[in-house]
C-alpha cells in the first residue's frame, strides 16, 4: 500500500469512518455511532459492500470534481474529500480486520479478495487527475492562502503527496506508476497472508518438554503421549526459554525462522524490485529516500546515523549481556572453552541467569499475572489517568465467541469503543496489534465515535489451568493498549489526521510509553496478584525483577537495530538483481551486529511482516522510543499515576493526532526540546552515555 491516501487511512492500526446511508451496509452498520453488527458479516455481504463502497466513493468524488474553481472552499473540496474517503475507509478497515481475524475460511477468502481490489482502487485514486486538479484549484483561492493550523497542514501535505506520488510524471508515467503500485499492493497482501496461513509444528517427547509447566504440557499433549508444539507465540516462546532439550529447541528454532520461506523469499525479491522501480520512476535514488521524505527523519542519512550511533553506544552493554549468558552456558556444560551462545540457546540460558543470579524465576513471576487481573489493572490505571470510564457490552455482536466489546465514556458521554480478541487460533493474525478501523472525525451528525480492536495471542485459560502471562506479555498488552488510547482519545476534526495518523516514526511513542507502567511498583500493586491466594506481588520479588530489568537490554536493543538495519539495507543499499540475496544480507548483518551467529538454513526475513507496512520505517521503533522515554520522564518527575499529568498528556499528545507536527507536540508536553538521556537510562547504559545527546540524529 504505497499511496498517501491508503497510508492515511490505514497507518498501522488506523482506518477511517463511515457515514451511514440507506444501503446494504445497514445490516452491519445500523446507524450513526451505533454498534457494528459483526455477526451479520458473510462472504456475500463483503462482496456486495466492497462494490458499493467503491461506487459510492466514486460518486462522491465526482461531485467534488464538478465544482467550479471560483466556488471551491475548504468545506466543499478538502473536507468533502476527507469525509468521503473516511466513509470508504471504514468499510476497508472492517473488511481488512475480517481478513486477519474471522474464523470462517470463506469469509476470510472473500475479505482477502476485497483487500486486493481495494488496494488497486486506491492506487487509481492516488493518480486521479481530477482530484489533484480540485485540490490545486482550491489552493490558489484567497481562502486557501489564509488557512492556518491543521487545515493549512492538511492541504499542503495533500498536494505535496499527490505531486511526490506521480503528478510530476507524464500520463504514460502515471500509468506505469499505477501498474507498479498495483503489483506492490498484491505482493504485500500475499506476503502477509502467507505468514498468517503458514502452519507447522514440532512433535516432541516427554523428555523434550522437561522444564515446561503442567499447564503448558496439558494444552499440547496428544493421545499417544507426545506433545505438539506449534509456532504461535504462546507455544514457541516458553519452549525456547524453558525446554531442557537443546536439540528440540534447535529444531523448533529452525522451523520458526523458516516460516513462509517456501513462498515469501521470492515474493520479497519481487517487492523490493517493484519498490525500487517506483522510487526511480519518481526521481528518487532508493525506496528509502522516497519513503522518508514524509517521516520525522526526512532522509536515509539521518536514519543511518541514528542506527550506527546506537550501535556505538549499545555495543559495550550488549557484549556485557552476552558474556553473562555465555558464562552460564560454560558453567552448565562444564566447558570453559565455549565461545558461542547460539540463537536457540540464548533465551534458555538467559532465563537461567535471571533465575539463579538475579533470583527471578519467570514461571514464579507469571503466577502474579493472571490475564483478567492484568486487564483490570490496565483498565484502572488508564481510566484514572485520563478521566475515563470503560463499560463492557454484554452479549455483543462479534466475529468470534472469545471477542469482548467495551465502550469508553468521558463524564457520561460515549467517546469510543474497543474490542479485545486476545487468544490464538488457526488463521488468525499471528502477532499483537491494534486495528483502529473506525476513526474519530467531525461530521454533520456529530463527532464520529472511534473504534479499535486488539488482536493478540496471549495464553488462554483451560479447565485445568488459569491464563498466566509472562511479564513480557504484560508489557505487550500495555503497549498495544496505548495504540487503542491514541485511536480513541483523538479530537481531530479530519479523518486523515485522526488518532494514529501521525508520522510512522512517531506512532509507536504513545504505545511504548505505557510499557513503563508495568515496571512501577505502585502501579503493579494494582493488578499483580497471585492467581490462587490474591497476594500482591512481593516487594522483594519486584526488587529482583528491577535488578534484572536491564539484563539483556543491550542484546535486545542490538536486535532492534538489526531488524531496522535489515529493513534499511534492502530498501536503501540493495538491488534485487545483484548476486547477493536477502538471506546473504541477513547473514552479514547478524554476524556484524548481533553476538549470536547466523544459523545456516534459516530465512528470518520471510516472516518479517514489518517489511510490508513498515518498509524503510522499522527504525521508527527505536526512534520513537527516544521520545516515549523522554515524555515518560515527566510522569516520573510528577507522579506516574498523577491524573493531572495524564490529562495534559491526553490533551497534547493523544487528542491532536496529526493536527500538528509530532516534534512540536513533544516539545509542548516536555516544555523543552527532546533528548535521548531518558532512553539511554532506561537501557541501563553507563552514566556517560546517559548524559550524551545524540546530535547526529538531530535530537
Active site (catalytic) residues: 480
Report which of 515, 537, 528 is spatially closest to residue 373, judged by C-alpha positions: 528
Helices (H) and strands (E) in the chain, counts: 29, 9
**Residue 38 and residue 398 in contact, taking contact as beta carbons nearer than 8 Å:** yes
DSSP symbols for 93-145: HHHHHHHHH-S-HHHHHHHHHHHHHHHHHHHHHHT-HHHHHHHHHHHTSHHHH
The distance from CA 73 to its chain's CA centroid, rounded to whole angstroms, is 36
Residue in the block written with cell 499440547: 220
* CB neighbour class for 283 (10 Å; exposed up to 12, middle 13-18, buried from 19): exposed
Partners of 405 in the β-ladder:
393, 419
Cell output for 641? 499515576
* CB neighbour class for 172 (10 Å; exposed up to 12, middle 13-18, buried from 19): exposed
Report which of 421, 423, 412 is spatially closest to residue 387, judged by C-alpha positions: 412
Report which of 560, 561, 549 is spatially closest to residue 682, judged by C-alpha positions: 549
**Who's near 319: CB < 8 A, 6+ residues apart?**
554, 595
Partners of 139 in the β-ladder:
none
> Residue 432: CA atoms inside 13 Å, Cβ hemisphere, count?
23
Amino acid at each position: 500500500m504505497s499511496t498517501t491516501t491508503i497510508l492515511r487511512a490505514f497507518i498501522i492500526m488506523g482506518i477511517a469512518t463511515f457515514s451511514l446511508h440507506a444501503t446494504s451496509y445497514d445490516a452491519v452498520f445500523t446507524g450513526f455511532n451505533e454498534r457494528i453488527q459483526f455477526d451479520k458479516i458473510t462472504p456475500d455481504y463483503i462482496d456486495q459492500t466492497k462494490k458499493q463502497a467503491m461506487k459510492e466513493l466514486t460518486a462522491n468524488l465526482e461531485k467534488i470534481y464538478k465544482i467550479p474553481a471560483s466556488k471551491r472552499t475548504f468545506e466543499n473540496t478538502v473536507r468533502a474529500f476527507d469525509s468521503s474517503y473516511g466513509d470508504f475507509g471504514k468499510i476497508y478497515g472492517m473488511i481488512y480486520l475480517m481478513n486477519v481475524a474471522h474464523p470462517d475460511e470463506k469469509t476470510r477468502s472473500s475479505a482477502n479478495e476485497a483487500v486486493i481490489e481495494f488496494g488497486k482502487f486506491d492506487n487509481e485514486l492516488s493518480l486521479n487527475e481530477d482530484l489533484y486538479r480540485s485540490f490545486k484549484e482550491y489552493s490558489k483561492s484567497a481562502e486557501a492562502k489564509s488557512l492556518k493550523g491543521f487545515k493549512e497542514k492538511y492541504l499542503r501535505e495533500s498536494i505535496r503527496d499527490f505531486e511526490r506520488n506521480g503528478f510530476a510524471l507524464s500520463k504514460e508515467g502515471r500509468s506505469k506508476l499505477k501498474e507498479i503500485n498495483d503489483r506492490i499492493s498484491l505482493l504485500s497482501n500475499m506476503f502477509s497472508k502467507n505468514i498468517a496461513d503458514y502452519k507447522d509444528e514440532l512433535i516432541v517427547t516427554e523428555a523434550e518438554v522437561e522444564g515446561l509447566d503442567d499447564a503448558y504440557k496439558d494444552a499440547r499433549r496428544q493421545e499417544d503421549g507426545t506433545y505438539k508444539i506449534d509456532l504461535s507465540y504462546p507455544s514457541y516462546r516458553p519452549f525456547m526459554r524453558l525446554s531442557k532439550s537443546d536439540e528440540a529447541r534447535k529444531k523448533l528454532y529452525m522451523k520458526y525462522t523458516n516460516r513462509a520461506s517456501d513462498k515469501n523469499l521470492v515474493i520479497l525479491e519481487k517487492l523490493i524490485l517493484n519498490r525500487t522501480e517506483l522510487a526511480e520512476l519518481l526521481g528518487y535514488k532508493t525506496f528509502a529516500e522516497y519513503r522518508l521524505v514524509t517521516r520525522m527523519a526526512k532522509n536515509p542519512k539521518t536514519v543511518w546515523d541514528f542506527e550506527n550511533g546506537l550501535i556505538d553506544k549499545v555495543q559495550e552493554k550488549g557484549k556485557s549481556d552476552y558474556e553473562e549468558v555465555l558464562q552460564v552456558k560454560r558453567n552448565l556444560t562444564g566447558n570453559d572453552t565455549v565461545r558461542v551462545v547460539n540463537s536457540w540457546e540464548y533465551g534458555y540460558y538467559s532465563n537461567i541467569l535471571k533465575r539463579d543470579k538475579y533470583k527471578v524465576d519467570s514461571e514464579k513471576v507469571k503466577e502474579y499475572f493472571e490475564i483478567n487481573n492484568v486487564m483490570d489493572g490496565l483498565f484502572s490505571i488508564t481510566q484514572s489517568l485520563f478521566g475515563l470510564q470503560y463499560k463492557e457490552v454484554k452479549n455483543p455482536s462479534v466475529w468470534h465467541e472469545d471477542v469482548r466489546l467495551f465502550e469508553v465514556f468521558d463524564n457520561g458521554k460515549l467517546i469510543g469503543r474497543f474490542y479485545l480478541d486476545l487468544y490464538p487460533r488457526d488463521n488468525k493474525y499471528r502477532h499483537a496489534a491494534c486495528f483502529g478501523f473506525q476513526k474519530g472525525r467531525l461530521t454533520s451528525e456529530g463527532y464520529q465515535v472511534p473504534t479499535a480492536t486488539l488482536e493478540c495471542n496471549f495464553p488462554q485459560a483451560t479447565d485445568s489451568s488459569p491464563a498466566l502471562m509472562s511479564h513480557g506479555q504484560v508489557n505487550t498488552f500495555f503497549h498495544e493498549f496505548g495504540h487503542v488510547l491514541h485511536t480513541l482519545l483523538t479530537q481531530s476534526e479530519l479523518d486523515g489526521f485522526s488518532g494514529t495518523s501521525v508520522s510512522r516514526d512517531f506512532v509507536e511513542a504513545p504505545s511504548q510509553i505505557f510499557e513503563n507502567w508495568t515496571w512501577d511498583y505502585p502501579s503493579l500493586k494494582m493488578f499483580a496478584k497471585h492467581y490462587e491466594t490474591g497476594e500482591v506481588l512481593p516487594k522483594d520479588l519486584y526488587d529482583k525483577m528491577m535488578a534484572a530489568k536491564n539484563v539483556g537490554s543491550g542484546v535486545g536493543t542490538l536486535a532492534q537495530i538489526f531488524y531496522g538495519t535489515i529493513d534499511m539495507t534492502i530498501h536503501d543499499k540493495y538491488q534485487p538483481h545483484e548476486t547477493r540475496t536477502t538471506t546473504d544480507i541477513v547473514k552479514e548483518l547478524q554476524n556484524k551486529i548481533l553476538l549470536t551467529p547466523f544459523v545456516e538454513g534459516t530465512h528470518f526475513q520471510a516472516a518479517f511482516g514489518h517489511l510490508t507496512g513498515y518498509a524503510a520505517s522499522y527504525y521508527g521503533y527505536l526512534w520513537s522510543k527516544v521520545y516515549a522515554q523522554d515524555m515518560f520522564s515527566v510522569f516520573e518527575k510528577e507522579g506516574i499515576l498523577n491524573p493531572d499529568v495524564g490529562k495534559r498528556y491526553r490533551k497534547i499528545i493523544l487528542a491532536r493526532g496529526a493536527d500538528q507536527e509530532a516534534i512540536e507536540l513533544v516539545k509542548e508536553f516536555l516544555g523543552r526540546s527532546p533528548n535521548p538521556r531518558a532512553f539511554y537510562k532506561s537501557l541501563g547504559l553507563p552514566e556517560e552515555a546517559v548524559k550524551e545527546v545524540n546530535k547526529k540524529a538531530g535530537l
